Amino acid sequence: MNPTNQESTASITNPNAFADEQIPPDSLAAAIRTRLTASASELSGFWFQVLGNRSDYARELQEHLAGDPVVVLVVRRAPFDNVNAVLDDFVVLLEENQEVCEKHLVGDAATERRAVVLLARNTLQLPQISSPVILPAWFPRLGGRTASVIIEDLTWRAESPLNVAGAAIGDLCQLLFDLEGALLERLQSVCVMKKAETDSFWDQVHRGDKEVHGSFADFLDGVRRTRHEVHNPTSYRPSVREGSSLVARIWGKAQATSPDGLGKVGKALARALALPESVETSWHRSMVAVLFRPSSGPLPEQQAFATNILVTIGAACQMITAASHADAYPSYPVPLIRSMSFDLRQGLAGTRRNLIALDHYTG
């Protein structure tokens, strides 16, 4: 593994970098538009926690909302810490920002819904219930009227399609491709030195087409040739139907096997990889692997490590494919999408490091 690849992998999976990330303003703007369109209220309030510079974030978010009857305000003095006074604080914030409110909320005769976005340092620690409030006389279209307003905290609720930038699908593809390379190297080494060790895994993934691919060694040679045709790993999308890649075979097997059955496949993979009884370096057990744990109880470490490979690869392939057909699926909270992607990326990158760290197989 060359230093450049190491640096790239580290940047893709750096937990500290991930923790400092913020949902980008364009993603939040899209989520606000969706909610505003679906709202039955004339005036909506959306709260959002900003970890960095709120003024800069507010400026960018307002730019992305240009043309929409939405104003972005920074919460500075109003406390918003008393459920009985939250809408009083809301009106105070409006009064403090009258000029910008009049500029962005005026809309036109056809505008039926407006929204105020409140950017704060913290999440909104109050029940989010609808309450009546008398708006200032100058407020566009609704001035002096009593409006029913609910301030919804979007910090963990802002939704986007599965192909949102925070999903880092390109990075996921790259890491999947890189892990396949490490698996290929290890499996070929073991297959050359002691073919019998790989037979049970080949039995699990051959799909009845041994006549087409010949031996496991022939299949792995074909995988290597196919990989040479991949010019952009950040767009790597294996095909279960074609089954020409190693990860496609693993993905297909993971899809068709129950959690209890995956333990058996994991045992075969552990043997094919010639894993030691204990993986010396720490490894990341992905969340999806925990959710798909077998009912029979904990597995031996080498079997658990190999099963984690199967499930993590399968989930990564599923996420990549779902993102490419995002229009066919619901939107989900951006933090959930980002967290899921990051966990899978940690699993893929960590497994690759673990495989490269194994002693050279000598049979």
Per-residue pLDDT 10s for the chain (363 aa) are 343 454 455 555 554 445 446 788 999 999 999 999 999 899 999 999 999 999 999 999 999 999 999 999 999 988 888 888 899 999 999 999 999 999 999 877 677 899 999 999 999 988 777 788 999 999 999 999 999 899 999 999 999 999 999 899 999 999 999 999 999 999 999 999 999 999 999 999 987 766 666 789 999 999 999 999 999 999 999 999 988 999 999 999 999 999 999 999 999 999 999 998 877 668 899 999 999 888 888 888 999 999 999 999 999 999 999 999 999 999 999 999 999 999 999 999 999 999 998 877 666
Dist CA 20 CA 313 (whole Å): 26
Do 170 and 136 share a domain, yes or no?
Answer: no
Which residue has 């995956």 as its token pair?
262
Distance CA 114, CA 141 (A): 10
The pair of three-digit structure tokens given for residue 213, joined into one six-digit string:
């691919």
The per-residue pLDDT for 144 is 94
Q: Where is the domain boundary, 157, 179, 210?
A: 157
Buried/exposed 36-68: b ≥16 CB within 10 Å, e otherwise: beebebbbbbbbbbbeeebeebbebbbebbeeb
pLDDT of residue 93: 96
DSSP states of 139-199 as a string?
Answer: STTTTT-EEEE-EEE-TTT-EE-TT-GGG-HHHHHHHHHHHHHHHHHHHHHHHHH-THHHH
Q: Are residues 38 and 117 in the same domain?
A: yes
Inside any domain, residue 13: no
Asked whether residue 46 falls in the same domain as residue 169, the answer is no
Helix (H, G, I), strand (E, B) or coil at 302: helix
Question: Pick from 163, 133, 172: which is nearest to 149 by CA?
Answer: 133
Residue 88 pLDDT: 92
Domain residues for 59? Answer: 24-157
Which of 131, 157, 183 is the last residue in one of the domains?
A: 157
- Is there a single domain that holds both residue 329 and residue 183? yes
pLDDT computed for residue 4 by the predictor:
40
* Same domain, yes or no: 213 and 121: no
User: Which residues sit opposite 146 in a β-bridge?
Assistant: 134
Would you say residue 15 lies in a domain?
Answer: no
The contacts of residue 159 (CB under 8 Å, 6+ apart) are 31, 34, 331, 332, 333, 334
Residues 97 and 245 both lie in one domain: no
232 and 110 assigned to the same domain? no
Inside any domain, residue 2:
no
| Amino acid symbol at 7 | E
Residues 276 and 152 in one domain: no
Q: How far is CA 230 from the centre of its chain?
A: 24
Judge if 126 and 188 occupy the same domain.
Answer: no
Q: Beta strand pairing status for 151-153 and 332-333?
A: unpaired
SS3 assignment, position 108: coil
Please check whether residues 328 and 289 belong to one and the same domain: yes
Contact 45, 91 (CB under 8 A): no
* b/e per residue 103-140 (b: at least 16 CB within 10 A): ebbebeeeeebbbbbbbbeeebebeeeeeebebeeebb
